[in-house]
Amino acid sequence: MRWLDIAIPLIFFTPAQFESLWITPNLAHGPLPLLLIVLYCLAWTCELPAVRYTLVLILNFAAIYTGFGLFIGVITPLWLAVEFYFRRQARQPAKWLLVSLAISLASLGSFFIGYRLDPDAKCFSLQPHGVVRYLDFVVLMLAHFFGARSSRPVVWVLLGIAVLTAMVYVLGSLGWRLWKARGYAPRKLIPAVLVGYGLIFCAATAYGRACFGPYVAFSSRYTEYVELAMLGLYLYASDFRGPGLRRNCVRKLTSGIFLMLLLMGAGPIQREDRSDMRYYLSRKESWRKCYLKTGDLLGCDKTVDFLVYPVEERTGLQGKLEFLKQKRLNLYSGLPPG
């Protein structure tokens, strides 16, 4: 551990992700995929092959079925194929790697059994709308992590472009190393896996959400997935390879610059975010008081002009509220019996 490693908690505890706790706590959208993918990368560092592949396949399957960790299911077979190739080159046994590869492909394929494309965005179309539009969306998603809340200041656009360029460089650099390498260490691929996952997620989000307009790129709920890419960039900078003094200077310089950028994002809560927090706090409090007084779900939605859940009938919200009332949980906790 070095003092520069303070960057790691700054990455994971950025206020940019406030929505996951403040607006709609949802383990499957953000926190759980984030945890599973970090554990997935740690699993690849296990020395014993049997333990390593067992953990990797279990975590891979669990991440896929969160929905938002789906793209790790694409990365796992590629990673296993790379390891299989290097083991064959070194004339080492690799039959069990083929079994692991088959399981990983089956895990990914099983997710699409009975799958139905039902986009929530009414403006979404399978037909692409132009690369520039998607690139702009991805750039703004990356800049949001460091504090951007508007696409107007050129500095934020330039920062997003710089981060995107760094991500592409990391993938290209590690790909080149693999091409030239004679040996292979799983942990060396971890930065590329984290960056690659973040890049795929950003690209998929742009494809599905860019039709709403560039402002959606600043949505807080996407932050956890960008965090994984930022962790990959930091790990790559920390392990920069080069001759002697040059290696140490470049590593410290890049890590230091990255740390300063993180401090920008970890500073005081942005004005826009604070406004959103106040809005949701007041709306939820008003809705709670209304419902406890009247017990009228739809009536409180209209009175407060706030939907506690967008489509109540889809999730049986009325029945769940009755359950909470019987068990004196959630909005009924702390109330006197009666």
Task: Tell me the pLDDT of the chain (338 aa) as tens digits.
Answer: 777 788 888 889 888 888 888 887 888 888 999 999 999 999 999 988 889 999 999 999 999 999 999 999 999 999 999 888 887 776 777 778 889 999 999 999 999 999 988 877 778 888 887 888 999 999 999 998 888 887 667 888 888 899 999 999 999 988 888 787 766 777 888 999 999 999 999 999 999 888 888 889 998 889 999 999 999 998 888 876 555 545 566 666 776 777 777 776 666 788 888 898 899 999 999 999 999 999 888 899 999 999 888 777 778 888 999 999 888 888 888 777 65
* 3-class SS shares of the chain: helix, strand, coil, % to 5: 75, 0, 25
- Give domain limits for the chain: 3-269, 272-332
Closest CA to 226 of 276, 175, 261, 189: 261
Closest CA to 227 of 68, 100, 22, 120: 68
| This prediction's pTM | 0.86
Residue 303 backbone phi and psi in degrees, to 5: -65, -45
CA torsion 316-319-321-322 (nearest 10°) is: 180
Q: Count how many residues are written for the chain.
A: 338
The neighbour count for residue 50, using CB atoms within 10 Å, is 9
- How far CA 172 is from CA of 93, 181, 284, in Å, comes to 29, 14, 47
CA 282 to chain centre: 28
